[in-house]
């Protein structure tokens, strides 16, 4: 009788043993997954082939935009889109650069058309040579600080003394300008300056 009662009690005690075991093993499984996720942290700087693909596309498209702008001279005309009396790019904000998108030129329209509606922000910088031989930077478009994903593409443009500013009605030439951002690095020569136009792009 005692033995029988003991058997019954043991069975009743073991009633939930398997369920508990299952919960413990489930906890172990899920816990190990959670731990594995925690130790392999994926940060914005983690190399990923998917983001590399997007950066490759941005580089490929920017090269095309710059090549097209050189081909139809709109990049040169953007550099010459200068307001002589204000000493800044024509139509730019009081800070001296365009802050809301591309400049109001064919090159700017091309940038806006290609990247404006695609959730991509861009800066355009110009690097020029001073008379002392240093390289300085002038911002044409500044829409913010680039992120870690930013890509940049550059093209070189040679400017000459006799080029007239592209603002309508302007007759001032580069050689006769007193306020242009880049100095006449080739004084006494036909050459005015050699500038490098850099477009920096990043996803917003």
Partner 1 sequence: MRETKSRLDRGQLNFDLLIGVTVFVLALAFVFSAVSGMVTPYVHGQEHTLVADRVATLLADGSFATDQSSIVNATCAFGFFNASYLTDNGTGCRIGFPANSSSVHERVAIDRRYSVNVSLVRDTDGDGKRDVLCTDGEVLTDCPGDTRLTAGPTPPTNRGSVVSARRVVVLDGLDVVLEVRVW
Contacts with partner 1, residue ranges (CB under 8 A): 4, 7-8, 11-12, 14-23, 25-26, 29-30, 33, 37, 49-50, 53, 56-57, 60-65, 67-68, 71-72, 110, 113-114, 116-117
The residue (of 53 and 137) whose beta carbon lies closer to partner 1 is: 53
Q: Based on CB atoms, which residue is closest to partner 1, 47 or 132?
A: 47
C-beta of 140: minimal distance to partner 1 in Å?
A: 19
Q: What burial class does residue 62 get, using C-beta atoms within 10 Å of its C-beta: 0-12 exposed, 13-18 middle, 19+ buried?
A: buried
Q: Both tokens of residue 138?
A: 């002038």
Of 128, 137, 126, the closest CA to residue 103 belongs to 126
Which residue stretches of 14-161 are H helix?
17-39, 49-71, 74-79, 106-115
Torsion of CA 159, 163, 165, 169, to 10 degrees: -170
CB closer to partner 1, 60 vs 144:
60
Shortest CB 9 distance to partner 1, Å: 11
Q: How far is the CB of 203 from partner 1 (least distance, A)?
A: 14
Nearest approach in angstroms of CB 67 to partner 1 is 3
Q: Which lies closer to partner 1 via its Cβ, residue 104 or residue 183?
A: 104
What is the C-alpha to C-alpha distance for residues 155 and 67, in angstroms, rounded to an integer? 8
In whole angstroms, how close is the CB of 32 to partner 1 at the nearest point?
Answer: 9
Joined tokens for residue 8: 């019954």
Q: Which is nearer to partner 1, 24 or 135 (CB)?
A: 24
Cβ contact 182:93 at 8 Å? no
- In the complex, the smallest distance separating the C-beta of residue 159 from partner 1, rounded to whole angstroms, is 21
Residue 115 or 181 with smaller CB distance to partner 1? 115
Dihedral, 151, 155, 160, 161 alpha carbons, nearest 10 = 0
* Rounded-to-integer distance, Cα 144 and Cα 99, Å: 8
């Amino acid at each position: 009788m005692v033995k029988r009662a003991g058997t019954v009690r043991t069975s009743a005690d073991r009633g939930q043993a398997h369920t508990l075991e299952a919960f413990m093993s489930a906890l172990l499984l899920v816990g190990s997954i959670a731990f594995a996720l925690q130790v392999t942290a994926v940060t914005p700087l983690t190399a990923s082939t998917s983001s590399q693909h997007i950066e490759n596309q941005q580089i490929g498209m920017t090269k095309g935009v710059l090549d097209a702008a050189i081909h139809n001279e709109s990049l040169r005309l953007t550099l010459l889109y200068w307001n002589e009396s204000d000493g800044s790019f024509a139509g730019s904000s009081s800070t001296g650069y365009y802050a809301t998108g591309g400049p109001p030129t064919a090159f700017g329209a091309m940038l806006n058309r290609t990247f404006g509606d695609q959730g991509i922000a861009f800066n355009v910088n110009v690097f020029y040579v001073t008379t002392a031989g240093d390289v300085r930077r002038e911002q044409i478009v500044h829409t913010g600080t680039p992120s870690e994903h930013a890509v940049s593409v550059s093209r070189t443009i040679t400017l000459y003394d006799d080029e007239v500013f592209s603002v309508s009605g302007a007759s001032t030439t580069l050689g006769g300008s007193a306020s242009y951002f880049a100095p006449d690095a080739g004084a006494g020569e036909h050459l005015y300056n050699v500038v490098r136009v850099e477009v920096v792009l990043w996803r917003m």
